[in-house]
Structure 1
Amino acid sequence: MRRALAVLAAVPLMFFAAACGSDAGTGAAPASGSGAAAFKVTGDVGAKPTVTFPAGTPATTSSYQVVQPGAGEDVKSGDRVIVNLTVWNWDGKGNAVQGSSYDTKAPETIPVDEQLPKVLQEGFTKVKHGGRLLAVLANDVEADPQAQAAAEPTKVFVFDVVGTQPPVLKVASGKETKESIKGVKVVNPGGEKAPTLTTKTDLKPSKELVVKTIIEGTGAKVKANQTLTVHYTGKIWGTDKQFDSSWERGQPAEFPLGQVIQGWQKGLVGVPVGSRVVMSIPPDLGYGAQEQQGIPANSTLVFVVDVLGAY
């Protein structure tokens, strides 16, 4: 459920790992073909760009070009930058576009950290909010020198910087409501400790989705098209059997809300960021008659969830 780097599905994530040693900048001279400075980008920032490719063979060295510097806030190392992006395969033939967030109408969030190729770590810090960056990502450095897999085509990205995501919360914070679901018990230990969820009960679960707010946050309300950062624990109604917990993994989960079970999609829309909720999800909004790992068929699922961020 966690994304190390949110990019279009057409672009394999392993490509980024293979490119992580590149630190060429705007003026770097590639070993083959032309670099980022040789590209022409037309169109206004905020709309899908048009790119004219240089003649010759694709570059084998990564580089970047600041197309528009922007006039907003600086992008800093450690930021989670929100971008609209468009990506092409640079093969020297068709140079086909692979996808664009302007088509999907879903900007992506990219952490500017050490997991990002160095060329992008540097390039993003050279633009401000409202700026446009072009990056050529080639197979400069292999993630595994012993790997025999075929090299990925050189990729060309145009990033329009929309802004930066506010830091996510570490724990739900706000007013405790004293709400609960009959048959389910949640104990709030305080601080950053995980709540205790108990679902051992002889009561029959509701056939409808039940959502109760335990701690009411003060952030913006979750929207259906957003990506969420959450901590959660999931158990099966009646048995107290736990099948998943991000708290136990020590790492919050991050995922597009539209890509998880219906109970989460319906239950979390409208919940303010910073809230802790408990949800009882009937089988038809969970996994139904299909058995999952650790979850019997036709199970009612119970989750306690801290909504830590939404963008």
Structure 2
Amino acid sequence: MRRALAVLAAVPLLLFAAACGSDDGASTGASASASAGASAKFKVTGTVGAKPTVAFPSGTPATKSSYEVIQPGAGTGVKAGDRVIVNLTVWNWDGKGNAVQGSSYDTKAPETIAVNEQLPQVLQEGFTKVKHGGRLLAVLANDSVAPQQTTQPAEPTKVFVIDVVGTQPPALKAATGKETGDSIKGVKVDNPGGEKAPTLTTKTDEKAPKDLVVKTVIKGTGAKVQANQTLSVHYTGKIWGTDKQFDSSWERGQPAEFALGQVIQGWQKGLAGLPVGSRVVMSIPPALGYGDQAQQAIPAKSTLVFVVDILGAY
């Protein structure tokens, strides 16, 4: 699961399309031609670190995507694979009102973007041409939408001004911190140490708790998880009382990544506010899980038990 940036809710296809758009129009400076997106004819005013204003070129909106480095920045360079923290402002370029669609400067909440193949090609390249403290202008036309998405109604050409604030540290490999000795009565968690997966045992005669129970097994020292963030986690899930496992990211060998606001309420309520680096065990009652609906290996009205390592929050 990938979190759509809140400020760009109106244009998720353009920002998160698979990287298959043409980069023929990409530019790195004021020499960009009008046919390559007319980025050279934009006038961006305002200092980096404050909400910018943009004067649009006359004529019809560009049909090819492009980028222009407005300020290169003087900090650490951005490279492919980084998760860059940015402030961004987006406009609809319709050749009429060219209305602003949103800005993280207004919400006072910088966003995090993964510089990977999920981004349109012009953004993949453009980000690597700026450093921390830099400013990038990007024109995203419909040539940056994946072919399988071309059946959707065409979006207006978008113009982004993106200020690079910094880079998120890479996610942890496993929980790190001090063991607390806490657990849930009837549930056992064995911590082998290092990057090895913990062992979760839920075979018990104890009655399942009626309410959500969250216990910290290892207390991390990172920033606290916010409800609107995307998390990187390792986890194992079992059914209370049966020791029946229904899922494990550790067994798949790959951490899971998801928007916290898009998963079951037990996870939302249980993980928000906990520090990154923590290992927690959660007992989730049916009302905060899947309720009366069976889910593949999960029977209806099941109490779910998870052991979760919080590896990163973005």
Q: Same fold (TM over 0.5)?
A: yes
Identity among equivalent positions (%) equals 80
Match of 1:305 in 2: 308
2:265 is the counterpart of 1:262? yes
- The 1-side partners of 2:148 and 2:264 are apart by 39
Structure 2 counterparts to residues 153-302 of structure 1, below 5 A: 153-302=156-305
Q: Do 1:31 and 1:61's aligned partners in 2 also have CA atoms closer than 8 Å?
A: yes
1:276 is displaced (CA, Å) by 1.2
- The 1-side partners of 2:19 and 2:154 are apart by 9
Structure 2 counterparts to residues 132-151 of structure 1, below 5 A: 132-140=135-143, 143-144=146-147, 151=154
Q: Which amino acid aligns with 1:170?
A: K
Q: Do 1:209 and 1:281's aligned partners in 2 also have CA atoms closer than 8 Å?
A: yes
2:65 is the counterpart of 1:62? yes
- The 1-side partners of 2:248 and 2:167 are apart by 28
- In structure 2, relative to structure 1, the CA distance for the partners of 1:106 and 1:236 (3 Å cut) is farther
Q: Do 1:30 and 1:61's aligned partners in 2 also have CA atoms closer than 8 Å?
A: no
With normalisation by structure 1, the TM-score equals: 0.85
Further displaced range: 96-105 or 123-132: 96-105
Aligned match for 1:28, one of 23, 28, 32: 32
2:126 is the counterpart of 1:90? no
Q: Do 1:3 and 1:254's aligned partners in 2 also have CA atoms closer than 8 Å?
A: no
1:170 is displaced (CA, Å) by 1.2
Q: Do 1:6 and 1:109's aligned partners in 2 also have CA atoms closer than 8 Å?
A: no
Q: Do 1:275 and 1:306's aligned partners in 2 also have CA atoms closer than 8 Å?
A: yes
1:127 is displaced (CA, Å) by 2.2
2:36 is the counterpart of 1:46? no
Q: Do 2:65 and 2:144's aligned partners in 1 also have CA atoms closer than 8 Å?
A: no
- The 1-side partners of 2:223 and 2:94 are apart by 44
1:201 is displaced (CA, Å) by 2.0
Q: Do 2:14 and 2:144's aligned partners in 1 also have CA atoms closer than 8 Å?
A: no
2:114 is the counterpart of 1:111? yes
- The 2-side partners of 1:264 and 1:74 are apart by 35
Q: Do 1:218 and 1:273's aligned partners in 2 also have CA atoms closer than 8 Å?
A: yes
Quote the RMSD (CA, aligned, Å): 3.0
1:19 is displaced (CA, Å) by 5.2
- The 2-side partners of 1:265 and 1:224 are apart by 7
Which secondary structure state, in structure 2, belongs to the residue aligned with residue 92 of structure 1? coil
Q: Which amino acid aligns with 1:307?
A: I
Q: Do 1:234 and 1:302's aligned partners in 2 also have CA atoms closer than 8 Å?
A: yes
What are the Cα deviations for residues 20-66 of structure 1, in whole angstroms up to 9, with x where unaligned?
4315113332437x521211223343343322211111112221122
- The 1-side partners of 2:91 and 2:41 are apart by 15
Q: Which amino acid aligns with 1:21?
A: S
1:168 is displaced (CA, Å) by 0.7
- The 2-side partners of 1:177 and 1:250 are apart by 26
- Number of equivalenced pairs: 310
- The 2-side partners of 1:195 and 1:135 are apart by 45
1:272 is displaced (CA, Å) by 2.6
What are the Cα deviations for residues 223-242 of structure 1, in whole angstroms up to 9, with x where unaligned?
44443211112222123333
2:75 is the counterpart of 1:72? yes
Q: Which amino acid aligns with 1:8?
A: L
Q: Which amino acid aligns with 1:214?
A: V
Q: Do 1:21 and 1:141's aligned partners in 2 also have CA atoms closer than 8 Å?
A: yes
